[in-house]
Amino acid sequence: GRVFRTKGECEKALDRELTEVRLRKTSTFKPDFENGEGGWVVGYDYDDNSLIAIPVDNADYGEIVRYATEEDALKSIKENRADWLKYLGIKEEE
Convert the pLDDT of each residue in 56-89 to its tens digit: 888 888 777 778 878 888 999 999 998 888 877 7
pLDDT at 75: 93
> pTM for the complete prediction?
0.65
**CA dihedral (36, 38, 42, 47) positive or negative:** negative
Give Rg (Cα) of the chain: 17
